[in-house]
C-alpha cells in the first residue's frame, strides 16, 4: 500500500482563476487599444466641443463647431467629394479586383509570380507610389501625356493635376491601382472556396462560360463580395495618403477629401474644428462598420 | 492507485442551456485493474475519463485517488492533471507535430524539469519497450497510425504515472492492427500493473480487454461487472443487446397460466415455459414481458420434426464458421445462429423449425429490467 | 473546343492587361531612376542608362535617405514583433480559454480597426508632445502596434482555431501551464500563421503615412514615406531622378518580401479579412 501523499488541494473557486488567467492574456491587447485608439477617439470627440485655436484660450462651446460645420461650404464640398470618390473608385476596384481574382484563380506555372506582381501595388507605400503617379501625370513629361499624345488623336496634352476633373481622375486611378490587389486577394480566397465540381457539373449540363459565371460564381461569391465591398468603402472614406501627396487637395481645394479637410485645420492649429470634422468622418465609418458586423456572422465560428 | 467516483455528475452549460453529460455515477476502480468504460457515442464515457484526468471539473460529487480527494464540487477541491500524475492517450494521439518522436516522449519530463541525461535514459527505456528505438528522430507526420499510437503510449508511460487513461485509442486503426494492438496493450498493462481506465464503444474490445466493464448510457451507469457477468446476467435489455454480437434477441411475449402451467405466447405461437424459469419468482405474473434469448441458444431443425416454431427464413448471413438466420415471428425479428454447416445451404423462403433453449433465456420486465430468479443464480 | 480556345485567349489577354496595369508605374519608377535624364519621355533625349541618381541619393546631404530607410526598418520590425507578443496570448485566450464576452471583444476590436486615423491623430499628437515623445521611435511604434492588432488578432485566431484542442489537453496532462502550452506547443505549430502576421504588420507599418508625418518633424526620426513625400529639391525644380531612385531603393525590401512570401502574405490577408 503506497503511503499517502500530502494532498495539494487547490482551493479552486470555480472559474474565477480561469477568468483571471484569460484576462491576463488579453490585458496587453486591451491596454494598447484603449490607450492608442479608444482614448484618442474620445479625446478628439471631446476636443470637438471646444473652441481650441492656437493662441486663443481654449473654451467650451458645445456643438458650435458642428453648427459652423453645417454651414461651411468647404466642409460640404469635401463631404461631397469624398462620397463621389467612394462611389466611383470602389465599384471600379471591385470590378477590376474580380477580374484579377478570376485570372489569378486559373492554374498556371507562373501563378506565384503573377500573384507577386499583382501584390506589388499594395506592398509599395502609398506615399511613394503617389510621387510616381505625380510624375506620371506631369503635364510636360509624364507617362500619361506621352501615352495620350501617342495613342489618341489629340495634340493637346491633358492638364491632369491642374484641373479639377483631371485631378479627380488621377486620384481615382492612383488609388484604384493601389487597392485593387487587396480586393483581388480577398475575392480570390472566395473563389477558391467554390468547389470545382459545381463547374464540372454545369459544363456537363451544357452551361457556357458566361452562364457558369452568372449562375455559379457570382452567387457563391456574394458573401465575399460584400466583405470586400464594406472594407473598401470604409477605407475609401478615410483616404488620406494618396490625396495628400498626389494632389494636396488641389487644384484649388477641388480634391479635398474629408480627412484632408480635417488635417488642414490641424495644420492651422484649429484643433477644435479639425476634431469636429474627424468626428463626422468617424461617425460615417462607425455606421458602416456596424452595418458590417450585422451582415457578418463571425461569432459563430467561435461558438 | 485505486480510484473512486462518488455520486459524480457533470453538466455542460452553454448558450443553449444545460446538457447533463454524466448523471450521478458511483463506481470504484481497483488498483492495477484494467477497467473499461463502454457505451454508445454520447453516453458520457469520455466525459468520465476527462473528469478522472482533471480536464473537466465535476458539477457534483467527488473523485478520490486512494484516500486523496482530487476533485469535489462542493468542497471546491480540484487538482490539475499535472498534480494527479495521470497519463492519457487520446483518440487521435495528439502528438506534437513540431517535435520529433524523441521530443514528444521527452516532453513531459522536460516540463517537469528533469535533467538531460535522465530524460534521454528514460526515453530510450520506454522507446525500446515499445519498439520505437529506430523512429526516435522521425516526426509524427512521417509515421503510420500504429506507430503514432505507440509514441502516444510511450509519452504517457515515460513518467511512471499511477493511472493510465485511454480514450478509444484503437478506433483509428484498421481491423487487423486493432486486434494485435489489443493483445499488446493488455500484456503491457499486466506487466506494468498500472491502474488503467479504457474508454471504447466497441464491445468486442471491452470484453477482451477488461477485467471489469462499466456500461454507460446517456450519462447513467447501466451495469458494472466482469465480462462474463455482463454476458450471462445482463442487468437490463440495453446491456443484453449491447454486449455480444450478434446481439441477444428481445421478444415481446405474453406469459399466462393454463391449467397450473406457465406458458408464453409470441405472436400466436405458444411455448411451454420450463419450471426453472419461473420457479420461484415472486415477481412473475401473467402479462406482458420481454424474453431475451441469444441467437446461439436457438436450435434449428429441418421442418417436420415436432417443433412449435416453424418459421420462414427471411435472410441468411454466412459468418465464416457459423451461419446467422433471420426470421420473422409475426411482426418481430428473430435471429438464430448455428454452427451446423448443413444449414448453410438454406435459402430465404424455406421454412425451418426452431427450438429455443428456454433454460438459457432471460425474462425482462416491460421497462427493461431483468427479472432475477433464484434458479439461475444458483446454477451459475 | 472553341470555348476553350476563347477562354485561353481571354485569360492570356486578361493576364497581360493585369500585368501591364500593375507593373507599369513600378517599371516607370525604376526606368526614371536609371535614366540619365529623368524626363526622358518628353525631351527627345531618349533613355540613357545612368546611376547618377542613386549616387546622388546615397551621398546627398539633404535627402537623408539612409536615415529614413533605417528608421522605417527599425520601426516596422519593432512594431511587427511586439504586435505578435501582444496578439498571440490574446488570440490564445479567445480561442482556448474561458473568456466571457469574447465575441463582444472581437466585434469591438473589429470596429476599432475601422476608425479613421484622422480622428485619432490630433489627440495622439498632443499626447505624444506632452510626453516629449515627438521624433522618437516609440511615438510611431506604439500607435502602429495598436493599429495592427485587430488584423493580427483575426489572423492568429483563424490559425489557432485550426489547431486541435486535443493538443492542449495532451499538454495539460503532460504538466504544462497555459503559458507553457502557448509558448511550447501553440506558437511552434502556428509558426506559418505567425510569420504571415509578421509580414503583414511589417508592411503595414512601413507604409504608414499620416501618423508618421504628424508625429515626426526631424529627418533623424522620419520614415521613408514621409521623406519621399516631402522631398522637393532645393531650387524649385523637383529632382525626379533622385526621388525615383530613393523610391526604388525603399521599395526593394518590400518587393523582396512580396516576391518570396507572396503565398504567406496572401494567406494572412485572406484569413484576416474573411472572418467566418
Binary contact (A12, B15; C-beta < 8 A): no
A286 CB-near residues (< 8 Å, 6+ apart) = C111, C114, C115
CB of B340 closer than 8 Å to CB of B208: no
C103–chain B Cβ distance below 8 A for any pair: no
Binary contact (C229, A130; C-beta < 8 A): yes
Q: Which residue in C20, C69, C116 has the most chain A C-beta atoms within 10 A of its own C-beta, making it the best mutation to test that interface?
A: C116
- What is the distance, to the nearest Å, from the Cα of residue A180 to the centroid of all Cα atoms in its chain? 11
Binary contact (A303, B15; C-beta < 8 A): yes
| A43-91 confidence digits (pLDDT tens) | 888 888 888 777 777 788 878 888 888 898 889 999 999 999 999 999 9
C163–chain B Cβ distance below 8 A for any pair: no
* Residues on chain C touching A129 (C-beta within 8 angstroms): 25
Q: Across all residues in chain B, what is the average pLDDT?
A: 86
Distance CA A260, CA C118 (A): 9
B23 CB-near residues (< 8 Å, 6+ apart) = B9, B44, B218, B219, B220
CB of A241 closer than 8 Å to CB of C214: no
Chains that touch B (3 or more CB pairs under 8 A): A, C
Cell of residue A269, nine digits: 492649429
Nearest-CB residue to A32 (from C149, C240, C243): C149
Binary contact (C118, A278; C-beta < 8 A): yes
A11–chain B Cβ distance below 8 A for any pair: yes
Task: Work out the angle at residue C212's Cα, subtended by the Cα atoms of residues C210 and C214, and round it to the nearest 5 degrees.
Answer: 70
pLDDT of A161 over the 80 cut: yes
pLDDT of C167 over the 70 cut: yes
Residue A41 confidence (pLDDT): 87
- The percent of residues above 70 in pLDDT, for chain B, comes to 92
Band of pLDDT at residue C146, cut at 50, 70 and 90:
very high
A211-229 burial code (b ≥16 CB/10 A, e <16): ebeeebbeebbebbbebbb
Band of pLDDT at residue B139, cut at 50, 70 and 90:
very high
A82–chain C Cβ distance below 8 A for any pair: no
B324 CB-near residues (< 8 Å, 6+ apart) = B246, B295, B316, B317, B318, B335, B336, B337
Distance CA B338, CA C34 (A): 93
**Three-class DSSP category at B346:** coil
CB of A52 closer than 8 Å to CB of A65: no
Nearest-CB residue to B53 (from C171, C173, C180): C173
| B270-327 confidence digits (pLDDT tens) | 888 777 666 656 667 788 888 888 988 888 877 766 667 788 888 888 887 888 889 8
Residue C266 confidence (pLDDT): 87
Residue A297 confidence (pLDDT): 53
pLDDT of A2 over the 80 cut: no
Residue C108 confidence (pLDDT): 83
Distance CA C233, CA B217 (A): 83
Band of pLDDT at residue A5, cut at 50, 70 and 90:
very low
Binary contact (A11, B76; C-beta < 8 A): yes
pTM of the complete model: 0.84
| A183-203 confidence digits (pLDDT tens) | 999 899 888 888 888 888 888
Burial label, B337 (beta-carbon count in 10 A; 0-12, 13-18, 19+): middle
DSSP calls for B185-248: HHHHHHHHT-EEEEEES-HHHHHHH-SEEEEEETTEEEEEE-HHHHHHS-SBHHHHHHSSSSPP
Binary contact (A2, B1; C-beta < 8 A): yes
* Residues on chain B touching C182 (C-beta within 8 angstroms): none
| B53-92 confidence digits (pLDDT tens) | 999 889 889 999 998 999 988 888 888 888 888 999 998 8
Closest CA–CA distance from residue B329 to any residue of chain C (Å): 48
Residue in C closest to A267 by C-alpha: C214
Distance CA B202, CA B182 (A): 12
pLDDT of C206 over the 90 cut: yes
Residue A10 confidence (pLDDT): 32
Residue with cell 466482469: B226
A245–chain C Cβ distance below 8 A for any pair: yes
Binary contact (A4, B79; C-beta < 8 A): no
Distance CA B205, CA B185 (A): 11
Residue B49 confidence (pLDDT): 94
C175–chain B Cβ distance below 8 A for any pair: yes
Binary contact (C174, B97; C-beta < 8 A): no
Please report the domains of chain A, with CATH numbers, ordered by start residue. 72-256 (1.10.3720.10)
Cis amide linkage into residue B246, ω under 30° from 0? yes
- Helix axis angle for A218-237 and C240-273, nearest 10°, is 130
pLDDT of A301 over the 70 cut: no
Integer-rounded Cα radius of gyration of chain B: 25
Chains that touch A (3 or more CB pairs under 8 A): B, C
Please report the domains of chain B, with CATH numbers, ordered by start residue. 3-241 (3.40.50.300), 242-379 (2.40.50.140)
Closest CA–CA distance from residue A12 to any residue of chain B (Å): 5
pLDDT of B108 over the 60 cut: yes
Binary contact (C164, B92; C-beta < 8 A): yes
Q: What is the mean pLDDT of residues C123-148?
A: 89
CB of C68 closer than 8 Å to CB of C226: yes
pLDDT of A8 over the 60 cut: no
- Helix axis angle for B101-111 and B116-129, nearest 10°, is 130
Q: What is the mean pLDDT of residues C169-198?
A: 91
Greatest Cα-to-Cα distance within chain C, rounded to the nearest angstrom: 77
Which of A129-138, B222-231, C1-10 is predicted with the least confidence, judged by mean pLDDT?
A: C1-10
Sequence spans of domains, chain C: 1-50, 61-273
- The percent of residues above 70 in pLDDT, for chain A, comes to 91
Which residues are registered as beta bridge partners of C275? none
* Residues on chain C touching A100 (C-beta within 8 angstroms): 18
**Three-class DSSP category at B379:** helix
Residue B99 confidence (pLDDT): 92
Which of A156-160, A283-287, B200-204 is predicted with the least confidence, judged by mean pLDDT?
A: A156-160
Closest CA–CA distance from residue A67 to any residue of chain B (Å): 46
pLDDT of B50 over the 90 cut: yes
Distance CA A290, CA C114 (A): 10
User: Which residues 160-179 on chain A approach chain C with CB closer than 8 angstroms?
Assistant: 177
Strand pairing report for B60-65 and B3-14: antiparallel
**Three-class DSSP category at B30:** coil
Task: Determine if residue B262 is left, alpha or beta; phi over 0 gives left, psi from -120 to 50 gives alpha, anything else beta.
Answer: beta
Residue A4 confidence (pLDDT): 34
Binary contact (B79, A10; C-beta < 8 A): yes
Nearest-CB residue to A8 (from B15, B66, B83): B83
| C32-42 confidence digits (pLDDT tens) | 888 877 777 66
Binary contact (B67, A4; C-beta < 8 A): yes
pLDDT of C276 over the 60 cut: no
In angstroms, what CA-CA distances link B300 with A145, B311, B360? 100, 10, 16
Binary contact (A9, B77; C-beta < 8 A): yes
Band of pLDDT at residue B174, cut at 50, 70 and 90:
confident
C-alpha atoms less than 13 angstroms from C-alpha of A209 in its C-beta half-sphere: 11
CB of A186 closer than 8 Å to CB of A224: yes
Phi, psi for B69 (deg, rounded to 5): -80, 115
Distance CA A38, CA B185 (A): 59
Band of pLDDT at residue B11, cut at 50, 70 and 90:
confident
Give the single-character DSSP code of B370. Answer: B
- The percent of residues above 90 in pLDDT, for chain C, comes to 34
Binary contact (B77, A4; C-beta < 8 A): no
C271 CB-near residues (< 8 Å, 6+ apart) = C154, C155, C158, C159, C193, C196
Q: What is the mean pLDDT of residues C227-244?
A: 81
Residue A223 confidence (pLDDT): 82
Distance CA A161, CA A78 (A): 17
Residue in A closest to C25 by C-alpha: A132
User: What is the architecture, at CATH level 2, of domain C61-273?
Assistant: Orthogonal Bundle (1.10)
Distance CA A221, CA B230 (A): 57
Which of A86-100, B42-56, B364-378 is predicted with the least confidence, judged by mean pLDDT?
A: B364-378
Which of A198-212, A287-301, C2-16 is predicted with the least confidence, judged by mean pLDDT?
A: A287-301
Phi, psi for A287 (deg, rounded to 5): -60, -45
A202–chain C Cβ distance below 8 A for any pair: no
Cell of residue A172, nine digits: 481615382
Band of pLDDT at residue A267, cut at 50, 70 and 90:
confident
Binary contact (C161, A123; C-beta < 8 A): no
A57–chain B Cβ distance below 8 A for any pair: no
Amino acid at each position: 500500500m503506497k503511503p499517502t501523499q500530502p494532498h495539494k488541494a487547490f482551493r479552486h473557486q470555480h472559474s474565477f482563476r480561469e477568468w483571471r488567467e484569460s484576462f491576463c492574456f488579453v490585458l496587453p491587447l486591451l491596454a494598447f487599444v484603449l490607450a492608442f485608439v479608444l482614448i484618442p477617439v474620445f479625446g478628439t470627440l471631446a476636443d470637438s466641443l471646444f473652441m481650441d485655436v492656437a493662441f486663443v484660450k481654449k473654451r467650451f462651446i458645445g456643438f458650435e463647431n458642428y453648427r459652423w460645420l453645417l454651414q461651411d461650404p468647404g466642409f460640404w464640398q469635401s463631404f461631397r467629394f469624398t462620397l463621389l470618390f467612394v462611389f466611383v473608385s470602389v465599384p471600379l476596384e471591385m470590378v477590376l479586383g474580380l477580374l484579377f481574382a478570376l485570372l489569378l484563380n486559373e492554374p498556371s506555372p507562373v501563378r506565384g509570380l503573377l500573384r507577386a506582381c499583382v501584390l506589388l501595388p499594395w506592398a509599395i507605400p502609398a506615399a511613394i507610389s503617389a510621387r510616381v503617379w505625380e510624375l506620371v501625370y506631369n503635364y510636360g513629361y509624364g507617362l500619361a501625356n506621352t501615352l495620350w499624345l501617342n495613342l489618341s488623336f489629340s495634340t493637346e496634352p491633358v492638364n491632369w493635376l491642374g484641373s479639377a476633373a483631371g485631378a479627380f481622375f488621377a486620384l481615382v486611378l492612383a488609388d484604384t491601382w493601389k487597392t485593387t490587389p487587396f480586393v483581388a486577394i480577398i475575392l480570390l480566397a472566395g473563389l477558391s472556396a467554390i468547389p470545382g465540381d459545381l463547374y464540372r457539373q454545369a459544363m456537363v449540363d451544357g452551361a457556357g462560360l458566361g452562364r457558369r459565371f452568372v449562375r455559379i460564381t457570382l452567387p457563391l461569391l456574394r458573401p465575399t463580395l460584400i466583405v470586400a465591398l464594406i472594407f473598401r468603402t470604409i477605407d475609401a472614406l478615410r483616404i488620406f495618403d494618396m490625396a495628400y501627396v498626389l494632389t494636396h487637395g488641389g487644384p484649388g481645394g477641388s480634391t479635398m477629401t474629408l480627412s484632408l479637410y480635417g488635417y488642414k485645420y490641424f495644420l492651422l492649429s484649429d484643433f477644435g474644428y479639425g476634431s469636429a470634422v474627424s468626428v463626422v468622418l468617424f461617425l460615417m465609418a462607425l455606421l458602416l462598420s456596424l452595418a458590417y458586423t450585422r451582415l457578418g456572422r463571425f461569432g459563430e465560428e467561435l461558438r | 492507485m485505486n480510484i473512486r467516483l462518488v455520486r459524480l455528475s457533470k453538466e455542460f452549460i452553454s448558450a443553449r442551456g444545460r446538457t447533463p453529460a454524466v448523471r450521478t455515477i458511483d463506481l470504484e476502480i481497483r488498483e492495477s485493474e484494467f477497467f473499461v468504460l463502454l457505451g454508445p457515442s454520447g453516453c458520457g464515457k469520455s466525459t468520465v475519463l476527462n473528469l478522472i484526468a482533471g480536464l473537466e471539473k465535476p458539477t457534483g460529487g467527488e473523485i478520490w485517488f486512494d484516500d486523496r480527494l482530487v476533485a469535489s464540487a462542493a468542497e471546491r477541491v480540484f487538482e490539475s492533471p499535472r498534480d494527479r500524475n495521470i497519463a492519457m492517450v487520446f483518440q487521435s494521439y495528439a502528438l506534437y507535430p513540431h517535435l520529433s518522436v524523441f521530443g514528444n516522449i521527452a516532453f513531459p519530463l522536460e516540463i517537469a524539469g528533469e535533467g538531460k541525461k535522465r530524460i534521454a535514459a528514460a526515453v530510450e527505456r520506454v522507446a525500446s519497450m515499445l519498439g520505437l528505438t529506430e523512429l526516435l528522430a522521425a516526426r509524427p507526420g512521417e509515421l503510420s497510425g500504429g506507430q503514432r499510437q505507440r509514441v502516444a503510449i510511450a509519452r504517457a508511460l515515460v513518467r511512471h504515472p499511477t493511472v493510465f487513461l485511454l480514450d478509444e485509442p484503437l478506433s483509428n486503426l484498421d481491423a487487423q492492427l486493432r486486434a494485435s494492438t489489443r493483445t499488446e496493450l493488455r500484456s503491457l498493462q499486466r506487466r506494468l500493473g498500472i491502474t488503467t481506465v479504457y474508454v471504447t464503444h466497441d464491445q468486442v474490445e471491452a470484453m477482451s480487454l477488461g477485467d471489469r466493464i462499466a456500461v454507460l448510457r446517456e450519462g447513467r451507469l447501466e451495469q458494472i461487472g466482469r465480462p462474463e457477468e455482463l454476458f450471462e446476467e445482463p442487468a437490463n435489455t440495453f446491456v443484453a443487446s449491447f454486449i455480444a454480437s450478434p446481439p441477444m434477441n428481445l421478444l415481446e411475449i405474453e406469459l399466462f397460466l393454463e391449467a397450473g402451467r406457465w406458458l408464453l405466447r409470441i405472436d400466436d405461437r405458444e411455448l411451454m415455459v420450463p419450471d426453472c424459469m419461473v420457479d420461484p419468482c415472486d415477481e412473475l405474473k401473467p402479462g406482458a414481458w420481454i424474453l431475451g434469448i441469444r441467437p446461439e441458444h436457438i436450435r434449428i431443425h429441418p421442418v417436420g420434426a415436432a417443433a412449435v416454431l416453424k418459421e420462414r427464413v427471411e435472410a441468411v448471413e454466412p459468418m465464416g464458421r457459423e451461419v446467422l438466420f433471420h426470421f420473422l415471428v409475426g411482426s418481430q425479428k428473430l435471429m438464430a445462429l448455428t454452427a451446423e454447416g448443413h444449414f448453410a445451404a438454406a435459402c430465404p423462403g424455406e421454412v425451418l423449425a426452431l427450438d429455443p433453449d428456454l433454460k438459457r433465456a432471460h425474462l425482462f420486465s416491460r421497462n427493461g429490467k431483468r427479472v432475477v430468479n433464484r434458479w439461475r443464480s444458483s446454477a451459475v | 473546343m472553341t470555348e476553350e480556345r476563347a477562354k485561353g485567349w481571354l485569360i492570356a489577354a486578361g493576364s497581360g492587361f493585369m500585368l501591364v496595369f500593375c507593373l507599369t508605374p513600378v517599371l516607370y519608377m525604376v526606368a526614371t531612376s536609371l535614366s540619365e535624364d529623368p524626363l526622358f519621355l518628353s525631351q527627345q533625349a531618349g533613355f540613357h542608362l545612368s546611376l547618377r541618381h542613386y549616387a546622388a541619393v546615397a551621398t546627398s546631404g539633404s535627402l537623408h535617405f539612409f536615415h529614413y530607410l533605417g528608421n522605417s526598418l527599425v520601426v516596422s520590425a519593432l512594431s511587427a514583433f511586439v504586435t505578435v507578443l501582444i496578439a498571440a496570448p490574446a488570440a490564445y485566450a479567445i480561442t482556448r480559454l474561458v473568456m466571457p464576452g469574447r465575441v463582444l471583444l472581437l466585434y469591438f476590436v473589429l470596429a476599432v480597426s475601422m476608425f479613421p486615423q484622422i480622428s485619432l491623430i490630433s489627440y495622439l499628437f498632443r499626447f505624444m508632445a506632452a510626453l516629449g515623445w515627438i521624433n522618437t521611435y516609440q511615438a510611431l511604434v506604439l500607435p502602429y502596434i495598436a493599429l495592427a492588432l485587430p488584423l493580427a488578432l483575426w489572423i492568429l485566431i483563424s490559425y489557432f482555431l485550426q489547431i486541435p484542442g486535443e493538443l492542449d489537453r495532451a499538454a495539460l496532462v503532460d504538466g504544462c501551464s497555459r503559458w507553457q502550452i502557448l509558448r511550447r506547443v501553440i506558437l511552434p505549430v502556428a509558426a506559418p500563421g505567425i510569420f504571415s502576421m509578421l509580414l503583414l504588420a511589417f508592411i503595414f507599418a512601413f507604409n504608414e503615412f499620416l501618423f508618421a508625418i504628424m508625429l515626426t518633424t526631424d529627418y533623424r526620426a522620419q520614415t521613408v514615406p514621409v521623406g519621399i513625400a516631402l522631398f522637393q529639391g532645393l531650387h524649385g525644380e523637383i529632382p525626379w531622378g533622385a526621388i525615383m531612385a530613393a523610391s526604388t531603393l525603399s521599395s526593394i525590401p518590400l518587393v523582396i518580401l512580396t516576391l518570396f512570401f507572396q503565398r504567406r502574405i496572401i494567406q494572412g490577408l485572406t484569413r484576416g479579412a474573411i472572418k467566418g
